[in-house]
């Protein structure tokens, strides 16, 4: 992690650049929820109860063993029931309040914590733990986070699945188009708490970099450098629950 002096200097540069932004886009991953107590994917080295997450969070995994997949998602719903947004989520709401409709938050997370914190212009590109989708009639229902049956069925009799984008599945077209547009149009992209390994989400970073000329300034907020770092103009290395509020504070000081 960066020394306090390095982080201080980088925070000042980031705040000065952000203060002049016309359009702001943010891409978040599991790291932004880590300080709320939601486990990240890489921390569990991509495993859940000995299963590779790519195998459990996939249509093949669901076909093979729907009960196992629902155990995985019921366990995550139970975890998210016990957590709340952290200061990093709230800082992103403050940034949104300043830029209004010139702000877009794109999240890979399915924990709903940005929505609970009050984020409005939010694109949940990988779906949500709160919603189920019927494998038969395709009905989508927001069921909150109560625990569902081990094998929940729709009123039409068919099996329910989480309304989540699994590996090897396409992202919802309208949401993905909006996310690409927001990345292309922004002049500052904050990349927060993502290993930038999963595609196409990670491609939003080069899209922003090469977007509307002269291309966005990319500011990475993470504990460590990642796949995104080669695109980053500024790196703020520390816990996002601490770094984001400091960035908002610096921003405020610049405009007072
Ligand atoms: C697709 C929902 C087209 C599930 C998720 C081979 C065959 C087929 C496809 C592929 C293939 N190889 C690659 C692919 C594409 C694949 C992919 O990218 N795979 C990866 C593993 C290489 N992508 C797909 O399949 C996508 N669809 O390509 O469709 C297609 C169609 C058919 C056939 C082929 C292609 C769909 C991807 C969506 C998958 N669903 N989520 C669920 O959540 O249950 S992705 C999942 O990973 C989560 O959404 C998660 O958010 C996301 C990414 O992980 P991160 O958020 O970055 O989390 P991670 O743990 O990795 O990192 C945390 C970071 O936070 C770290 O950097 C850490 O340092 C940092 N951190 C920790 N604490 C803090 C912190 N930072 C700051 N503060 C802290 N306190
Ligand atoms: Zn149905």
Confidence (pLDDT) at 24: 98
181-200: pLDDT as tens digits: 999 999 999 999 999 999 99
Could you give the CA distance from residue 217 to residue 17 in angstroms, rounded to a whole number? 8
- For residues 84-116, one letter each, b for 16 or more C-beta atoms within 10 angstroms of the residue's C-beta and e for the rest, the string is ebbbbbbbbbbbbebbeebbbbbbbbbbbbbbe
Q: Which residues surround ligand 2, an ion (CB under 5 A)?
A: 134, 136-137, 154, 156, 158
91-111: pLDDT as tens digits: 999 999 999 999 999 999 999
Confidence (pLDDT) at 50: 82
Q: Which ligand 1 atom is at minimum distance from the Cα of 239?
A: 78
> What structural domains and CATH numbers belong to the chain?
4-38+85-126+171-255 (3.40.50.1220), 47-82+130-164 (3.30.1600.10)
Q: Which ligand 1 atom is at minimum distance from the Cα of 73?
A: 44
Q: Is position 126 annotated as part of the catalytic site?
A: yes
178 Cβ inside 6 Å of ligand 1: no
Please say whether the beta carbons of 148 and 160 come within 8 A: yes
8 Cβ inside 6 Å of ligand 1: no
166 secondary structure, DSSP code: -
Confidence (pLDDT) at 2: 63
Confidence (pLDDT) at 165: 97
**In this structure, which residue's CA is closest to atom 32 in ligand 1?**
168
Which helix (H) or strand (E) segment is 128 a member of?
strand 127-134
183 secondary structure, DSSP code: H
49 secondary structure, DSSP code: T
Point out the residues of the chain with pLDDT beneath 70: 1-2
């Amino acid at each position: 992690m960066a020394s306090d002096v390095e982080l201080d200097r980088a925070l000042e540069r980031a705040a000065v650049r952000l203060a002049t932004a016309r359009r702001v886009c943010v891409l978040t991953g599991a790291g932004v929820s880590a300080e709320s107590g939601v486990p990240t994917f890489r921390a569990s080295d991509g495993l859940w109860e000995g299963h590779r997450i790519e195998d459990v969070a996939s249509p093949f995994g669901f076909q093979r063993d729907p009960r196992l997949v629902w155990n995985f998602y019921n366990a995550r719903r139970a975890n998210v029931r016990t957590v709340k947004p952290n200061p990093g989520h709230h800082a992103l709401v403050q940034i949104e309040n300043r830029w209004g409709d010139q702000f877009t938050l794109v999240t890979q997370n399915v924990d709903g914590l940005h929505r609970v914190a009050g984020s409005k212009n939010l694109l949940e590109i990988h779906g949500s733990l709160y919603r189920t989708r019927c494998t038969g009639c395709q009905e989508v229902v927001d069921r909150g986070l109560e625990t569902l049956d081990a094998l929940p069925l729709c009123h039409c009799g068919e099996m329910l699945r989480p309304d989540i984008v699994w590996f090897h599945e396409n992202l919802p077209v309208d949401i993905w188009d909006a996310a690409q547009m927001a990345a292309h149009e922004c002049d500052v992209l904050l990349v927060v708490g993502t290993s930038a390994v999963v595609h196409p989400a990670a491609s939003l970073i080069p899209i922003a970099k090469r977007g509307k000329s002269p291309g966005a300034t990319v500011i990475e907020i993470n504990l460590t450098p990642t796949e995104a770092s080669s695109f980053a103009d500024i790196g703020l290395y520390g816990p996002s629950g601490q770094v984001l509020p400091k960035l908002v504070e610096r921003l405020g000081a610049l405009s007072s």
